[in-house]
Structure 1
Amino acid sequence: MTEAAEAAIRSNYRVRASELIGRNWLNTGGKQLGLEDLRGKIVLLDFWTFCCINCLHVLDELRPLEEKYKDVLVTVGVHSPKFEHEADPVALAAAVERYEIHHPVLDDPELDTWQAYTARAWPTLVVIDPEGYIVAHLSGEGHAGGIGSLVEELIAEHEAKGTLHRGDGPYVPAESTAGDLRFPGKVITLPDGVGSAGETFLVADTGHHRIVELAPDLSTVLNTFGSGRKGWQDGAADESGFNEPQGLALLPEDIRAKAGYDVVIADSVNHRLRGLTLATGAVVTVAGNGVQRLLDAENQRAAAATAEAGPGSVADEAGAGEDLGEELAEALATASHLGNEPLKVSLSSPWDVLWSSALGKVVVAMAGVHQIFSFDPVSGELAVLAGTGLEGLQDGEANASWFAQSSGLAEDANGSIWIADSETSALRVLSFPEAGHVQVTTAIGTGLFDFGFRDGDAAQARLQHPLGVTVLPDGSVAVADTYNGAVRRYDPATRTVSTLTRGLSEPSDVLVDASGVAGGGEPLLIVVEANKHQLVRIPIPKDALTVDEGASQTQRPKTEVSAGPLALTVRFAAPKGQKLDDRWGDPTQLKISASPENLLVSGGGTSVGLVRELVLSPDVPEGVLHITARAAACDGEPGGEIPDHAACHLYQQDWGIPVVLGSGSGELTLDLRGLD
């Protein structure tokens, strides 16, 4: 980073905060707030959207700050939607309840406040001092420590000036809509002889932070596992604690005997895998140390392979590039083996789990780092099965593929694993064409900012943030198309998409119920209808619907730029107590592409550094620049050595910048930074 760029980050300018404008306020008891109502408080604006795993991480990062400084700090969630469904006020109210948000939320469907504060990414955080001036503007997650230090400084400064007002904030809790279940996540079948009586169903009662066994009627509660208290604790059924559990996987009988438990649970906010013994209700932690996975030594080695290629080696869009490909693949292969001490490994928001008969292991959709892991419940070995950790849609060899918040898993008769890749609104598949090789392909979906509700040819079909997937008896694949409120069907034989049912309220999972028989003797589907807190059965229709409500893209304000050279700078400064991790070379990286591809004449691909010159085509009037920035920093003082076993942190942000060619600037500056 240049001295000029670093100085710009550290400058102390005073900019008056803009008014908070939106459709409505939530969590205020019906009161419409303005900045004047918040004068005298330190205000933290959290620009978020409820589909975004990074935004959910930030919600949890901020909770301790909100509690510690509750008499001086007011957090305001500014909900600026990415997907069309997220602009629905009913869906937003459900999300605010689901994620237990205990601060006011501004509904900003037209992105008015988003534009006023020049937000460009989810999440973005803006700190406003008690006099109404902006004092920090940050992108991404991992900033809680720096914000805490800043809050302490602002308290001291404004108490001395007499401009800090202590006391309660404007938060007013809303009434709960839940019943026996609360925003259930995933469901599996417990066969006769495994559950309480006959065939039953095990459900992640996500919002109640517990696991529930339901009778075949899908409503009678037979057993509960977990105290219902949000947190992490192993022990007996009425003592153990979960934090928003999601995926469930029943182990085969011989593996259950060796592992000492029956079911693996993706305990998403605890960043752990848990083991449940059904007969006793005992819960144990089987993987994860509870620290959210950001960057460790293995990841650094992979980053080092990129850095060693040098700033002149820019990768192509197809997959890490010829210059970087071999080194990066080798490093990722080394990084994939995380050892057989699973309780020492950091995980990040495991969202679904699946027993893979092809691998003889549990497969984990590790949503928080956009990767697919494997876990051996007998040996304890953890490994990265697929994904580099970069967010996006890229097929090919597993160690060069990209995912985006994968949230649902299912295995077909051939052993291939189907994946609901939510942020790309995609259906992906892992296949094993030969020993030692894992291949990633996309059945439905085109990218991070493309979605819709369209059936027909799979190349043109569109989903909207799917979370669940299952394989039907005929070999086709059913998808819980969450934000479209539908269950869709993909036929691999014809590569076509159709709609099985619609009108559901955020279906989060789907499961074949082979024991249920419809009028024609066909199996049924069980759908987890999360926002109605229930499970429902639906018949699999012989004649599916064909729906075409069009394809869409995320709509955000366009940045006017000039054709030709465009100087891109991403500004970053490590927070206090950290320094850039330059042990393997430059620890920063930019990955750039464009939609359409021909918008970018040059400057695309992956290389080290946070400064790049792009050249935009004068023949393409508008498009989207896709920019991913990464920076690695470790605990230590600037100028000094990084101590052995120092904690290291990966700062990463993905931007999709809509641009329109005109007479605009030839410069584009983005902020990815810690606080001084």
Structure 2
Amino acid sequence: MTTSTTPAPSRRVRVRAPRLQGRGWLNTGGRPLDLETLRGRIVLLDFWTFCCVNCLHVLDELRPVEAEFADTLVVVGVHSPKFEHETDPDALRAAVERYDVHHPVLDDPQLLTWQAYAARAWPTLAVVDPEGYVVAQLSGEGHADGLRSLLRELVAEHEAKGTLRRGDAPYVPPPREDTPLRFPGKVLPLPGRDGGEPTLLVSDTARHRLVELAVDAESVVRTIGDGTRGLVDGDPATARFGEPQGLALLPAEVAARVGYDVVVADSVGHCLRGVRLADGRVTTVAGTGEQLRERAGGGPALAQPLSTPWDVTWFDGQVVVAMAGLHQLWAFDPAPEPADGVVRVLAGTSAEGLRDGAAEHAWFAQTSGLAVSADGTRLWLADSETSALRWVERADLGDPAAPAPDRSAPEVTDTRLANAAAAAGPGYVVGTGVGSGLFDFGHVDGRGGVDGPARLQHPLGVAVLADGSVAVADTYNGAVRRYDPSTQEVTTLANGLAEPSDVVVDPADPSLLLVVASASHEVVRVRLPREAARIDTGARRTQRPPTPVAPGPVRLEVAFVPPSGQKLDDRWGDPSRLSVSATPPELLAEGAGSGAGLGRDLVLAGPPGAEGVLHVSVQAAACDGDPVTGEVPEHAACHLYQQDWGIPVVLSESGTNRCDLDLRGV
């Protein structure tokens, strides 16, 4: 939150790009970079953090842009960590390989460059022209088309001026280690086929394939997928996945009906895939391969785009999908013919945060791991960005501990979403076992609940134990934790694991857990201890300096300038929407809720020194067309731009009375 530097259309302000500061560089062969040596090239700074699914979307969006402008554009990733684990240089080095980053990366654990460029959200993009001036700042994802338009203009302008310098990018690929698995994501025990031994199916995420292992969790039985990123159906030798994650075994009667046994969450492919175990054949059963960027109620499975499905499980007569890219849960109803399958929203508004209650009004944050209670009535989920363990039940179960469904929450304004949820059959209710919000984390055992001291750090997997308690793959703490619903107590079962991303009970021995140690590229067995440990290394909060804000009236403005060749689509009213809330809620005395427009008058309340977080969510729609003449091309497309901000603030009499944010400021 700063005074806006976005110029009015009638004048042009030239802002010199601040220097790049940090701890070190990756993907440069050990050589540091600076903007002076890159002068003459267009530089795109991508402020990201490897926990953030939206940042991962931007990495994929930038790949074709980098290829198109290979001799004029230098992309520099500025890694600005949210979680403590992400400040570990070895963890960052692993993430750069895991997500196939092919450009230089600045390691900025102290957020020096982040603050110099006034970044306010993950992800943020800043464009520096060949003369070293910042010419655009973009928040969120979905900017690829607008970036291409801007880059073409900059290339033409600076080529004409003689200030453009073409050449190769300064990227130097790091050495790659060869292991049987590479950053595996999830594991699924499989029953023996034709009387044979049981096996383990593992999503070999970074190698874009599935690997079936023997019960020793080491010997490879077969692979499914050719190991190349893509979306191709077919036999095991030719099929292609895109960073597959979650795996779900269908009930036998359902598998016999639909013709496949396992559903795969193909995260970068934005699809669900079906795998027939008899011959390993792969079929796409939901999704189009395109990423969904707006709210949707669902529809025919093969016609409905999805967004980064991360895990899947069978619950309440349907496949439930942890739709990480939309911060929601979806349901998939398979059919004998893939074209007849249906997907729909099960829970979540797509707002990012932690809010319990009726499923259609709940907030999630990067839903990532799923498991079902032994009696099939409760779905447990790892909600990674809130470092939370959440649960979902049917609202008609009458659980006295469940929060009452709130059918009147003002933040829900998308009638299509509400109608789809209402038509989906019985309603669901959402609760929280461990976790308190987007910016609170740590390794603390003790009482759970939203008010308890217990803390996790970016968990990715869950499993239900024989006694009804829940094991959590507490990924960024390198631990397996246990939550007991009967006492609400959190303890530690195992420690010292390398980014555990999934955990399941070993079907051959319930005293053992199968844990996917993703960063050490293996599946390991961990014995349940007789007594769990109690650990307290301290609670943490995301370290972003709070912005001093004056109590009382505050003006919020979001800058949005459509790319060249696009104009705001106002044919059906204001094409923008702004939602504002706060943690704690009493921080925001006036201005909460959703409405049209890109600006709003707020009133902040509280004593000097009071801290909190402003949650701002914005959407703006622009369509192809001439903004001056209004002419629209024959095959015009519309584009949705959106972003969520969580802005730490502290009340101070000397603080600012403006909050200026860039959705797309140029």
Per the normalisation by structure 2, the TM-score is: 0.90
The more displaced of 630-639 and 428-437 is 630-639
Kept in 2: contact 1:590–1:627 (CA 8 A): no
Q: In structure 2, what is the Cα distance between the partners aligned to 1:636 and 1:529?
A: 46
**How far does residue 576 in structure 1 lie from its aligned partner after superposition?**
3.5
Kept in 1: contact 2:70–2:169 (CA 8 A): yes
The more displaced of 205-214 and 560-569 is 560-569
Equivalent position of 2:414 in the other structure: none
2:373 to 367, 392, 412: 412
Q: In structure 1, what is the Cα distance between the partners aligned to 2:164 and 2:638?
A: 35
Distance 1:8-1:629 versus aligned 2 partners, 3 A rule: farther
Q: In structure 2, what is the Cα distance between the partners aligned to 1:38 and 1:430?
A: 51
Distance 1:407-1:666 versus aligned 2 partners, 3 A rule: same
**Partner SS state of residue 549, structure 1:** strand
**AA in 2 matched with 1:349:** T
**How far does residue 7 in structure 1 lie from its aligned partner after superposition?**
6.7
The more displaced of 88-97 and 250-259 is 250-259
2:493 to 490, 495, 500: 500
**AA in 2 matched with 1:104:** P
* Counterpart mapping for 1:587-602 below 5 A: 587-602=575-590
Kept in 2: contact 1:558–1:658 (CA 8 A): yes
Kept in 1: contact 2:606–2:651 (CA 8 A): yes
Q: In structure 2, what is the Cα distance between the partners aligned to 1:451 and 1:193?
A: 43
Q: In structure 1, what is the Cα distance between the partners aligned to 2:601 and 2:347?
A: 31
State the 4+ residue runs in structure 1 displaced beyond 6 angstroms. 4-7, 641-646
**Partner SS state of residue 103, structure 2:** coil
**Partner SS state of residue 652, structure 1:** strand
Verify: 1:544 aligned to 2:537, yes or no: no
Equivalent position of 2:412 in the other structure: none
**How far does residue 452 in structure 1 lie from its aligned partner after superposition?**
1.1
**How far does residue 587 in structure 1 lie from its aligned partner after superposition?**
3.5
User: RMSD between aligned alpha carbons?
Assistant: 2.1
**AA in 1 matched with 2:659:** L
1:626 to 604, 614, 617: 614
Equivalent position of 1:654 in the other structure: 644
Q: 1:449-480 deviations in whole A, cap 9, x for unaligned?
A: 11111111102211111100110111000010
Distance 1:649-1:109 versus aligned 2 partners, 3 A rule: same
Q: In structure 1, what is the Cα distance between the partners aligned to 2:209 and 2:24?
A: 33
Equivalent position of 1:402 in the other structure: 363
Distance 1:618-1:439 versus aligned 2 partners, 3 A rule: closer
The more displaced of 504-513 and 590-599 is 590-599
Kept in 2: contact 1:49–1:122 (CA 8 A): yes
The more displaced of 251-260 and 630-639 is 630-639
1:609 to 590, 597, 605: 597
2:322 to 365, 369, 375: 365
Distance 1:405-1:120 versus aligned 2 partners, 3 A rule: same
**AA in 1 matched with 2:323:** M
Q: In structure 1, what is the Cα distance between the partners aligned to 2:619 and 2:10?
A: 17
Q: In structure 2, what is the Cα distance between the partners aligned to 1:9 and 1:252?
A: 60
**AA in 2 matched with 1:370:** H
**AA in 1 matched with 2:203:** A
**How far does residue 575 in structure 1 lie from its aligned partner after superposition?**
2.9
Kept in 1: contact 2:7–2:13 (CA 8 A): no
Kept in 2: contact 1:371–1:386 (CA 8 A): yes
Kept in 1: contact 2:558–2:599 (CA 8 A): yes
Equivalent position of 1:143 in the other structure: 143
Verify: 1:425 aligned to 2:387, yes or no: yes
**How far does residue 584 in structure 1 lie from its aligned partner after superposition?**
5.0
2:458 to 447, 462, 465: 465
User: Structure 1 stretches of 5 or more lacking a match?
Assistant: 300-334, 517-521
1:570 to 555, 558, 564: 558
**Partner SS state of residue 567, structure 1:** strand
**How far does residue 647 in structure 1 lie from its aligned partner after superposition?**
4.6
Distance 1:262-1:7 versus aligned 2 partners, 3 A rule: same
Verify: 1:451 aligned to 2:408, yes or no: no
Q: In structure 2, what is the Cα distance between the partners aligned to 1:576 and 1:631?
A: 19
**Partner SS state of residue 673, structure 1:** strand
Q: In structure 2, what is the Cα distance between the partners aligned to 1:168 and 1:240?
A: 34
Verify: 1:526 aligned to 2:514, yes or no: yes
* Counterpart mapping for 1:60-139 below 5 A: 60-139=60-139
Q: In structure 1, what is the Cα distance between the partners aligned to 2:152 and 2:650?
A: 42
Equivalent position of 1:294 in the other structure: 293
**How far does residue 539 in structure 1 lie from its aligned partner after superposition?**
0.5
**How far does residue 579 in structure 1 lie from its aligned partner after superposition?**
3.9
Q: In structure 2, what is the Cα distance between the partners aligned to 1:36 and 1:643?
A: 41
**How far does residue 612 in structure 1 lie from its aligned partner after superposition?**
1.7
* Counterpart mapping for 1:17-96 below 5 A: 17-96=17-96
Q: 1:53-88 deviations in whole A, cap 9, x for unaligned?
A: 000000000000111111111100000001111011
The more displaced of 617-626 and 407-416 is 617-626
Per the normalisation by structure 1, the TM-score is: 0.89
Q: In structure 2, what is the Cα distance between the partners aligned to 1:201 and 1:277?
A: 15
Kept in 1: contact 2:590–2:603 (CA 8 A): yes
Kept in 2: contact 1:6–1:573 (CA 8 A): no
1:392 to 353, 376, 398: 353
Verify: 1:556 aligned to 2:544, yes or no: yes
Q: In structure 2, what is the Cα distance between the partners aligned to 1:10 and 1:419?
A: 51
**How far does residue 234 in structure 1 lie from its aligned partner after superposition?**
1.0
User: Structure 2 stretches of 5 or more lacking a match?
Assistant: 397-424
Kept in 2: contact 1:526–1:535 (CA 8 A): yes
Verify: 1:441 aligned to 2:400, yes or no: no
Equivalent position of 1:343 in the other structure: 302
Q: In structure 1, what is the Cα distance between the partners aligned to 2:52 and 2:259?
A: 35
Kept in 1: contact 2:48–2:77 (CA 8 A): yes
**Partner SS state of residue 310, structure 2:** strand
Distance 1:577-1:224 versus aligned 2 partners, 3 A rule: same
Q: In structure 1, what is the Cα distance between the partners aligned to 2:306 and 2:586?
A: 38
**AA in 2 matched with 1:494:** T
Distance 1:210-1:564 versus aligned 2 partners, 3 A rule: same
**How far does residue 648 in structure 1 lie from its aligned partner after superposition?**
4.1
**How far does residue 628 in structure 1 lie from its aligned partner after superposition?**
2.5
**How far does residue 40 in structure 1 lie from its aligned partner after superposition?**
1.3
Equivalent position of 1:328 in the other structure: none
**How far does residue 643 in structure 1 lie from its aligned partner after superposition?**
9.4
Distance 1:437-1:583 versus aligned 2 partners, 3 A rule: farther
Distance 1:11-1:206 versus aligned 2 partners, 3 A rule: farther
Q: In structure 1, what is the Cα distance between the partners aligned to 2:218 and 2:73?
A: 42
Q: In structure 2, what is the Cα distance between the partners aligned to 1:71 and 1:621?
A: 50
**AA in 2 matched with 1:572:** F
Q: In structure 1, what is the Cα distance between the partners aligned to 2:568 and 2:485?
A: 47
Q: In structure 2, what is the Cα distance between the partners aligned to 1:83 and 1:5?
A: 29
Equivalent position of 1:319 in the other structure: none
**AA in 1 matched with 2:243:** E
**Partner SS state of residue 343, structure 1:** coil
Distance 1:642-1:252 versus aligned 2 partners, 3 A rule: farther
Distance 1:158-1:577 versus aligned 2 partners, 3 A rule: closer
Q: In structure 2, what is the Cα distance between the partners aligned to 1:209 and 1:463?
A: 29
**How far does residue 553 in structure 1 lie from its aligned partner after superposition?**
1.1
Distance 1:372-1:504 versus aligned 2 partners, 3 A rule: same
Q: In structure 1, what is the Cα distance between the partners aligned to 2:631 and 2:458?
A: 44
Distance 1:643-1:250 versus aligned 2 partners, 3 A rule: farther
Equivalent position of 1:283 in the other structure: 282
Identical aligned residues as a percent = 60
Kept in 2: contact 1:515–1:523 (CA 8 A): no
Equivalent position of 2:236 in the other structure: 237
Verify: 1:14 aligned to 2:14, yes or no: yes
Q: In structure 2, what is the Cα distance between the partners aligned to 1:566 and 1:121?
A: 20
Equivalent position of 2:411 in the other structure: none
**How far does residue 644 in structure 1 lie from its aligned partner after superposition?**
11
Kept in 1: contact 2:121–2:645 (CA 8 A): yes
Kept in 2: contact 1:429–1:440 (CA 8 A): yes
**Partner SS state of residue 153, structure 2:** helix
**How far does residue 658 in structure 1 lie from its aligned partner after superposition?**
1.9
**How far does residue 618 in structure 1 lie from its aligned partner after superposition?**
4.5
